[in-house]
Amino acid sequence: MQAMTSVSVRFAVWMMAMLPLSLAVLFHTGLRSVPLSIDVPQRPSLAFHQYAVDLRTIRPATVIEASYVFQNRGTEPVHIVKLDPSCGCLTPRLIGARDDIIEAGEQGRIVIRMQPANTSPGPHEYTVNVKYTDPMPREVQLKLKMEIPATLWVTPPALVVYHPAGSEPTLAEFTVTDGRGKSFEITDVSINTDLVETSLGESSRSPIGNYQQSVRVSIAGTLPPGRAQFLLRITTTDPDVGELRVPIMLQGQALPTDGESDHALDHELHKHQRHSQRIEPADDQPRRQDLAETPDTKVSLEATPDE
């Protein structure tokens, strides 16, 4: 009788232990399974072979280039909306696209040009943001790195002058410096506008012994309405840097009372260059801007392409 009772107890304990498993199996088999749905976002269509180019130490040159090849790996056409450089010394160009459209499966490339002669020696890193739709709005960043050797440079590397109606002429001075301790001569200075007169200044040595020579410009007091960009060309006897190019932007439109034009000009300066020289005229006298030797690392204004 005791044996029968012991078996019954063990059986009851086993049944209680199996009850959760039995209920789980019954519950699972009694309900209809619902597949799990996960929305996977569409991958960006543009794929670049390389997103960063490191030119390391570059040789002295008037213009350098870096190329970024890409492919549209999506199923829809890609529209390149904008190439937004971090510095006005960069000139990005889209090649291999008609009307800025890249069809599915097609390839193209973006070429970034730069004029390193206006930039101070040392390491530099720049970016170009590529904005496009596929049809979703997208943005990808390309990087360009380089080490610029000590050669010739100009300070400031760019100039913006604003003249409201009735302004007097503005005088500005650029300084060409050789960071290698070598002497040089400026043989010619020219600019592609009659609104600016140029002349050569004195040669000297900086406090740390670098050879320098100044270039003076005089901007007419009366400027045409709107904004125009010109290129100051400085020809030298240096065998490595035979020509230096300085972008000059002239603003001749009168400011509205709410200051919107002034805000727009300041915004463009901030976007393209941290240390461009902006000059507004004095009330009744020509204004002269003397500039320090220390070169800037950011050039703000895109230089006018060679004719």
pTM (predicted TM-score): 0.60
DSSP 117: G
Distances (CA, A) of 10 to 5, 21, 209: 9, 18, 102
Q: Rounding to the nearest 10 degrees, give the CA dihedral for residues 88, 94, 95, 98.
A: -140
Give the C-alpha separation, 139 to 127, whole Å: 12
> Could you tell me the domains of the chain?
46-148 (2.60.40.10), 152-289 (2.60.40.10)
Strand 78-85 vs strand 137-148: parallel, antiparallel, or unpaired?
A: unpaired
Q: Could you tell me the two tokens for 3?
A: 């044996």
Q: CB-based burial of residue 77 (10 Å sphere; 0-12 exposed, 13-18 middle, 19+ buried)?
A: middle
- Sequential pLDDT tens for the chain (307 residues): 555 556 566 666 666 666 666 656 555 555 565 666 666 678 899 999 999 999 999 877 668 899 999 999 999 999 999 999 998 788 999 998 888 999 999 999 999 998 787 777 889 999 999 999 999 999 999 999 999 888 888 888 889 999 988 889 999 999 999 988 889 999 999 999 999 999 999 899 988 889 999 999 999 999 999 889 899 999 999 988 888 888 899 998 655 555 554 555 454 444 434 344 444 444 434 343 333 333 332 323 333 333 3
Closest CA to 282 of 159, 194, 156, 162: 162
Please report the pLDDT score of residue 23 as a whole number.
Answer: 59
Tell me how far apart the terminal alpha carbons of the chain are, to the nearest angstrom: 115
Please report the pLDDT score of residue 276 as a whole number.
Answer: 44
